[in-house]
A and B are shown apart, each in its own frame.
Chain A
Amino acid sequence: GQQVMQIPQYQHVQEGEDFTTYCNSSTTLSNIQWYKQRPGGHPVFLIQLVKSGEVKKQKRLTFQFGEAKKNSSLHITATQTTDVGTYFCAGSRASNTGKLIFGQGTTLQVKP
């Protein structure tokens, strides 16, 4: 079945350092979404990427969708303690169900 792999599983950084998480799908995706889950909380939607090679920015966060629509990345510049949490990518194949296949997530710890 379709799989979405995400690395690394954990990342510890010093505040101010950059952070990147990578997502790879075994099949071509119609779109990819990113979610953030704070400790003890629920996943919250960050962004959706649809086009091949698409790059979107939200303040210090940069999201990329690969040319082949099989991989994606989230890069955070100059991390802050408020960035702590688990970041999930979630891929969708073309369908009318909205079903997502989630990666395992990358848990980010930021040391002040």
Chain B
Amino acid sequence: NAGVTQTPKFRVLKTGQSMTLLCAQDMNHEYMYWYRQDPGMGLRLIHYSVGEGTTAKGEVPDGYNVSRLKKQNFLLGLESAAPSQTSVYFCASSYPRDRGFSYEQYFGPGTRLTVT
């Protein structure tokens, strides 16, 4: 199993450009999450999904959109990138429904995004 994978690993955008970050998991997890990590701020939840076709806002959703069309994929979109969105983005998944109750989160390797 690959676990949680993210593409791309690195990206540089100019202000106003758009992009989509892709997260994929092969663990049949129901729940998926997008976080951003900034120095001294820990991990902040952007959006999350509790199942295919459902999404919800987290702590810092402004400027981002998400979609979960397939259970294994969770996409994070930036419609008009701003320098304040320079960060490391992590995707995570949890809750293997067919293996009992566990909310531990499995993280992908991250995407380092710079907006100039």
Contacts and interface: CB of A to CB of B under 8 A. Distances in A.
A70 to B, nearest CB: 18
A68 B17 CA distance: 47
A44 interface: yes
**Among A1, A6, A33, A45, residue most surrounded by chain B Cβ atoms (within 10 Å):** A45
Contacts of A44: 107
Contact of A42 (B102, B104, B108): B108
Nearest to A97: B50
Nearest to B43: A102
Interface string B92-108: 10110000001111111
Contacts of A98: 31, 33, 50, 94-95, 103, 105
Contacts, number: 60
A104 B42 contact: yes
26 contacts: A41-B109, A42-B107, A42-B110, A43-B43, A43-B90, A43-B92, A43-B105, A48-B103, A48-B104, A88-B42, A88-B43, A92-B103, A96-B50, A97-B31, A97-B56, A98-B33, A98-B94, A98-B95, A98-B105, A99-B33, A99-B45, A99-B58, A100-B103, A102-B42, A102-B43, A104-B40
**Among B43, B44, B58, B59, residue most surrounded by chain A Cβ atoms (within 10 Å):** B43
Interface residues of B, number: 27
Interface string B14-58: 000000000000000001010100001111110010100000101
